[in-house]
Structure 1
């Protein structure tokens, strides 16, 4: 499949919801969720954010295959064309696996920063009461202050962000040395090093940029 995919069947546009209490918009910068088949390496669209979060959490233990997508596309196989091909029409980022699904009633929001900043994206959680938590410290404080969530722990939250595929999207940091084994050292650029590792994780996002240097 060349060019842009059929948005009406697969891509997820900006999701906007309104809290009756605050009337503030809560939305992601993600327009589509895709996962790569472990067998044929073709990218498959995931129909909802919730299903994507479920797959992402278990991906390290349960690899994704085209047959997995038969839950929502009953006739899909590795013989079918890929749902999307990487090109210059979309902006892509590689996500990390094993990120826990948000607790019931909570949202995990990803907002992409504009190009040229020192950070690619910001993650925050929205509580059932529409309060936004922007760091693990805020999550821990909130759980202490709200004993109505006795079963929740900090391990159920993650502020890890994806890595952009577009070179130089994030302003590069100075290279630094790391020790591998014994006295062996190598010079690495933190941004490109992380990006190389994330390429192996086979999760991909189509993102839409939040204009400005920080999260909207």
Structure 2
């Protein structure tokens, strides 16, 4: 089986807490803001009027899970990246042992792959510690794929041996 070539661009959608319909979010930044506050202030269709003035729960959903796309769901309350930073998601091919990788890109362009790397980067570059930049603003929590069996499950033998042979 050859891995599927995955797009670099993603659509961002949020499910309405009232009607359960999916609404497309126009920008990654808007999506991240909604995600950060979704536990305290659940998204409802009326909020989409900021970019779609007449949308309501009575309208058809913007996008549906029809099998033509890879769907994943983020944990709610992941903080927006600090100003000037980017949080990137790189989805791996179907059948991999991990669904995706999360990276943060510093304003300097440096790509960071873990909280340990972020901590060291901030220690080495204290100029970035202004503007509420701290470790709590970085989450490497991977979204969960909604397609069953997208990620290859490790067998009992593999987990007992500590990996693949």
Task: Find the counterpart in structure 2 of residue 210 from structure 1.
Answer: none
For these two proteins, the number of residue pairs brought into alignment is: 148
Task: Find the counterpart in structure 2 of residue 96 from structure 1.
Answer: 75
Task: Find the counterpart in structure 2 of residue 87 from structure 1.
Answer: 66
Indicate the SS of the match to 2:46. helix
**What is the distance in 1 between the residues matched to 2:71 and 2:56?**
24
Alignment of 1:148-159 (within 5 A): 148-151=127-130, 152-159=133-140
Deviation at 1:150, TM superposition (A): 2.6
- Higher RCO structure, 1 or 2 (CA under 8 Å, sep 6+): 1
**What is the distance in 1 between the residues matched to 2:9 and 2:116?**
25
User: RMSD of the alignment, in Å?
Assistant: 1.3
Gaps of 5+ in 1: 1-13, 15-28, 176-216
**What is the distance in 2 between the residues matched to 1:124 and 1:85?**
27
**What is the distance in 1 between the residues matched to 2:139 and 2:87?**
9
- 2:146 corresponds, among 165, 172, 192, to 165
**What is the distance in 1 between the residues matched to 2:29 and 2:152?**
31
- 1:118 corresponds, among 97, 119, 143, to 97
Cα shift readout 1:67-103 (whole Å, capped 9, x = no counterpart): 0100111111111111112111111111111111011
**What is the distance in 1 between the residues matched to 2:106 and 2:64?**
36
- 1:48 corresponds, among 27, 52, 60, to 27
Cα shift readout 1:116-142 (whole Å, capped 9, x = no counterpart): 111000001001110000000000000
Task: Find the counterpart in structure 2 of residue 146 from structure 1.
Answer: 125
Deviation at 1:55, TM superposition (A): 0.2
Task: Find the counterpart in structure 2 of residue 181 from structure 1.
Answer: none
Task: Find the counterpart in structure 1 of residue 18 from structure 2.
Answer: 39
Deviation at 1:174, TM superposition (A): 4.5
Gaps of 5+ in 2: 1-6, 157-165
Indicate the SS of the match to 1:64. coil
TM-score of the two chains, using structure 1 as the length reference: 0.66
Indicate the SS of the match to 1:44. strand
Task: Find the counterpart in structure 2 of residue 68 from structure 1.
Answer: 47
Q: Which has the higher helix share?
A: 2
Deviation at 1:173, TM superposition (A): 3.0
TM-score of the two chains, using structure 2 as the length reference: 0.86
